[in-house]
Structure 1
Amino acid sequence: MRPFAPATRQSWMGLLASALLGTSVVGALEMDIEDGDSIRKVAKQVATNMMSYYTGMNPGDNPGNLPDPYYWWEAGAMFNSLIDYWFYTGDDTWNDITIQGLLWQAGDNKAFMPNNQSKTEGNDDQAFWAFAAMSAAERNFPNPPDDQPQWLEMAQAVFNTQAPRWDNSSCGGGLRWQIFTWNNGYNYKNTISTGGFFNLASRLAKYTGNKTYADWAEKAWDWTADVGFMTHDYKFMDGASDLTECKPINKIEWTYNAGVYLLGAANMYNLTEDSKWKERTQKIVDSTGKFFSHDPPNVMYERACETVNTCMVDQRSFKGYLARWMAQTTQMAPFTYDQIMKRLKASGMAAAKTCTGGVNNNVCGLRWVDEKWDKTKDFGQQMAALEVIQANLISRVAAPVTKDDGGTSKGNPNAGTKPPKTVPPGLDYAITTGDKAGAGILTVLTLIGIGGSCGWLIWD
């Protein structure tokens, strides 16, 4: 924290100007991007402000929910950032809150489909909660009690609910934006929903070694390219209506669409060592250059909305996910390290310079390119700043584990699916055609008997 300048060293004119303008001299978060302790210190201050928005751990509140105007999915993203924060810094301040929130929101089927979210939950929303569970498994985050759902199990449950939603009825496949028909956007197929599924499948393939996940990842990638949501030069468009067979395509580009495919491709490269996945990973890294400024150089910005001041609540957090997934890509595809870290270092330093607002001088602005607080505050942009700052610790931590390489999270390949019907012992004999015919005759006789016994009531 930069100290206040002593009054004896300020001009009386400066003091008078501050008084007249109703402003005060504020400190800035000073961060040495090459010093791990310095990064951790700043990350703690930024995370502390981020968690000031969350009240789910309070008595009478709903664990795992953020207050309005923040949607349910962003809480899942928050817990992912806290898992990463713990892994990067070793600080377990918010571990219990994270475990509580994830378990509470897992729902009866362990797939993050709680009943109270059916009016708003989309495939992309569900995926962000799955990312948190997957990160917990990959980072060996403290496991839940044995009688509770486990991290890998939750991620598998989400996959098992999303794979059957692959929709071949229009556009040749893909996932719809929304899960339920009554929600606006059900007829929209978008990149982040299919991209979330691709990201999750690729990471499950890497963690478990199960080829089924890898096959689905290939399918999701191919469909994204075939439908045109990903262009030949690796631009990721937003999506399109399935009522018109996904034509025309909404060509707006968001940082997190590129990011969600980047980490998926990097995992597929790490798993297969196939040159095609190396090329794809590299080309996505190259294409994300559009999201980094020239002046100051290499600072990330959400170019679809920041430049025209139209970023809405969700969009204020998007940069954080690209930062998160870029950092993790350097571990899955080390050949990207130099190119990515150049951008993360510049963006992390710029983001920290915006975190000078509020009474504790730790409120972060939206526009990192300004390198100063822009007088705005929002949960999403606070989380995004945390993500890009702590991402600069990636070279100081181990790579993600797998089930065969230190992973402790227990899985369940059938999680999220409907359990088979159980038959009491003694009744599990085979039913023949004759049995069915006999049952039909008995049903008819029973109905005749009911009709006869009740006929006097009708007649009367």
Structure 2
Amino acid sequence: MKSRITSLLAPLAGLVSLVNGLELDLTSQDSVKSVTSTIAYDMMTYYSGNQSGQTPGLLPGPCASTECYYWWEAGAMFGSLINYWQYTGDDSYNHVVEQALAFQIGPDQNYNPPNQSKNMGVDDQAFWAFSALDAAEANLPEPGGDVPSWIALAQAVFNFQAGLWDTATCGGGMRWQVYSFNAGYNLKNTISNGGNFQLAARLARYTGNQTYADWAEQMWNWMAASPLFQYQDGNLYIWDNTDTANNCTDVAHFVWTYNYGTMLMGAAYMYNYTNGAEPWGTRVSQILDGAFKLFFPSEYGGNIMTEFQCEPAANCNNDQSSFKAYLSRWMAVTMLLVPSTADQIMPKLQASAAGAAQQCTGGNNGRACGRRWYAAYDGTSGVGQQMQALSVIGATQINSGIAPKSINTGGTSKSDPNAGTDTNTSPLSHQSPITTKDKAGAGILTVLAICVVVGGSVWIIL
């Protein structure tokens, strides 16, 4: 696998001459390490949680202005730093990551801190669980003491979320928000349900427990039968959200990179877990084909990723400014789990990485990264922009030596299927809907507030 990816770099040997921002040569590991080190450093200038008197794990907030970040994005950022360590070998941020992932655990030993309950989303928990999974799959040193293992933290989130399965409306699935008083509680969206799908698929592969795989299959089947998935002219459209107020009979026609990314990641893990059994190979191909057509438009050469719902109109919010980071990272992992996809994916990561580097020319330091990888610096900056550039450039260094570990392939994080519960039961024993009194919170508004995009966004209307 490593030799295949290395061979794909050959056509880009002269690409460095096209780079006008950070000096990036994709054929040089030292160059990639230098550039990603700079981007990671600049990203972490937004973070003060490791300083005296500050709260580990939190980015600037509360969100009363544009200079703030919801809880979920901090969790995602720490996952990007775990990948950065894997891509480059630089462990400078590992202690900060370990501290943050341990500090944000709630009293029920999962990612459910009470001080985040005012806008807790299922997807918010999922992104922190993804970072715990990243830590387990990379054998990041465990925090020790009374802190659960990395994999147990992900299992605790799964156990909590299994109790949110809602058959009272729409025949199943999970609502976006945990608390009924939070805006968006009426919605069932892709990133929450798809995030839970990915969580279950990754737990299945790590632990070898078929229970998680069965849950992932159940979640996929519900989503595929809902308006969130729509097959038309051979294409799979993964829409953003559907409304319980209408019993999920309609759908918001928005597509985002991270929705495709989370479904791709889950399907790739299921493909690997089942040793390539169908229909998972077909599902991986369908998601990839849809992502390639939507997010790598021919007008930018066909290989440069764009968040087309908001980038052209320059109205991406802080959440949306990070979405491409996840599709980049998850496409890279897909190459390892489904090796037949490498020849398709790597050229897109490489071209996107080159585009990302060339526009990192902004800010007071002259190297802040913007959103539009297909053009010059767009005047925006922030954690999301840095994370996106860091993730896509680092992803070009993916290789079989950093494939996600499992219990069977050297993973050392200890499984606890009852994590976060007080009873000796299997993860599927918590399927019945829970009451508001039973739910705990911690969270964010991640996508669009009731999916309204500021004027100028691109709508896809069937």
The answer to whether TM tops 0.5 is yes
Per-residue deviation at 1:131? 0.2
* Letter aligned with residue 136 of structure 2: A
In 2, the alpha carbon distance for the partners of 1:185 and 1:336 equals: 36
Per-residue deviation at 1:393? 0.7
Indicate yes or no: 2:367 matched with 1:355: no
In 2, the alpha carbon distance for the partners of 1:261 and 1:396 equals: 22
Q: How does 1:419-434 map to 2 (within 5 A)?
A: 419=423
Which position in structure 1 is the counterpart of 2:263? 261
Structure 2 contact 200–212 (Cα < 8 Å) conserved: yes
| Partner SS, residue 275 of structure 1 | coil
Q: Any idea what the Cα deviations from partners look like across 1:181-221, whole Å, max 9, x if unmatched?
A: 11111111001000000001000000111010000000110
Which position in structure 2 is the counterpart of 1:271? 273
Which position in structure 2 is the counterpart of 1:28? 21
Structure 2 contact 305–348 (Cα < 8 Å) conserved: yes
| Partner SS, residue 118 of structure 1 | helix
Hey, which of these two has a bigger chunk of helix by percent? 1
In 2, the alpha carbon distance for the partners of 1:42 and 1:295 equals: 27
In 1, the alpha carbon distance for the partners of 2:104 and 2:423 equals: 21
Indicate yes or no: 2:357 matched with 1:318: no
Per-residue deviation at 1:419? 4.8
Per-residue deviation at 1:310? 1.8
In 2, the alpha carbon distance for the partners of 1:88 and 1:323 equals: 13
Identity of aligned residues (%): 50
Q: Which moved more, 1:201-210 or 1:27-36?
A: 27-36
In 2, the alpha carbon distance for the partners of 1:27 and 1:218 equals: 46
Q: How does 1:37-436 map to 2 (within 5 A)?
A: 37-68=30-61, 69-232=68-231, 233-272=235-274, 273-289=276-292, 290-297=294-301, 298-370=303-375, 372-395=376-399, 397-419=401-423
TM-score norm. by structure 1 comes to: 0.84
Alpha-carbon spacing, 1:56–1:176, altered in 2? closer, same or farther (3 Å)? same
Alpha-carbon spacing, 1:396–1:267, altered in 2? closer, same or farther (3 Å)? closer
Q: Unaligned stretches of 5+ in structure 1?
A: 1-25, 421-460
| Partner SS, residue 189 of structure 1 | strand
Per-residue deviation at 1:362? 2.6
In 2, the alpha carbon distance for the partners of 1:188 and 1:284 equals: 23
Q: Unaligned stretches of 5+ in structure 2?
A: 1-18, 62-67, 425-462
In 1, the alpha carbon distance for the partners of 2:208 and 2:406 equals: 9
| Partner SS, residue 234 of structure 1 | strand
Q: Any idea what the Cα deviations from partners look like across 1:239-298, whole Å, max 9, x if unmatched?
A: 111011112100100110000000100110111121210111011111111101324321
Q: Which moved more, 1:96-105 or 1:389-398?
A: 389-398
Structure 2 contact 227–242 (Cα < 8 Å) conserved: no
In 1, the alpha carbon distance for the partners of 2:134 and 2:399 equals: 17
Per-residue deviation at 1:164? 1.1
* Letter aligned with residue 378 of structure 1: G
| Partner SS, residue 95 of structure 2 | helix
Q: Which moved more, 1:356-365 or 1:182-191?
A: 356-365
Q: Any idea what the Cα deviations from partners look like across 1:298-346, whole Å, max 9, x if unmatched?
A: 1100011112222111111111111011001001100000101110000
| Partner SS, residue 48 of structure 2 | coil
| Partner SS, residue 380 of structure 1 | helix
* Letter aligned with residue 36 of structure 1: Q
Structure 1 contact 269–278 (Cα < 8 Å) conserved: yes
Which position in structure 1 is the counterpart of 2:447? none
* Letter aligned with residue 245 of structure 1: N
| Partner SS, residue 393 of structure 1 | coil
In 1, the alpha carbon distance for the partners of 2:162 and 2:146 equals: 26
In 2, the alpha carbon distance for the partners of 1:58 and 1:218 equals: 43
Root mean square deviation of aligned Cα: 1.4
In 1, the alpha carbon distance for the partners of 2:382 and 2:316 equals: 11
Structure 1 contact 266–281 (Cα < 8 Å) conserved: yes
In 1, the alpha carbon distance for the partners of 2:259 and 2:415 equals: 28
TM-score norm. by structure 2 comes to: 0.83
In 1, the alpha carbon distance for the partners of 2:421 and 2:388 equals: 34
Q: Any idea what the Cα deviations from partners look like across 1:400-443, whole Å, max 9, x if unmatched?
A: 111121001112110111358xxxxxxxxxxxxxxxxxxxxxxx
| Partner SS, residue 418 of structure 2 | coil
Structure 1 contact 63–105 (Cα < 8 Å) conserved: yes
Question: Following TM superposition, where does structure 1 have runs of at least 4 consecutive aligned residues deviating by more than 6 angstroms?
Answer: none
* Letter aligned with residue 411 of structure 2: G
In 2, the alpha carbon distance for the partners of 1:30 and 1:396 equals: 26
Per-residue deviation at 1:105? 0.3
* Letter aligned with residue 279 of structure 1: T
* Letter aligned with residue 324 of structure 1: R
Count of aligned residue pairs for this structure pair: 394
In 1, the alpha carbon distance for the partners of 2:245 and 2:211 equals: 30
Structure 1 contact 27–361 (Cα < 8 Å) conserved: no
In 1, the alpha carbon distance for the partners of 2:409 and 2:338 equals: 18
Per-residue deviation at 1:27? 7.3
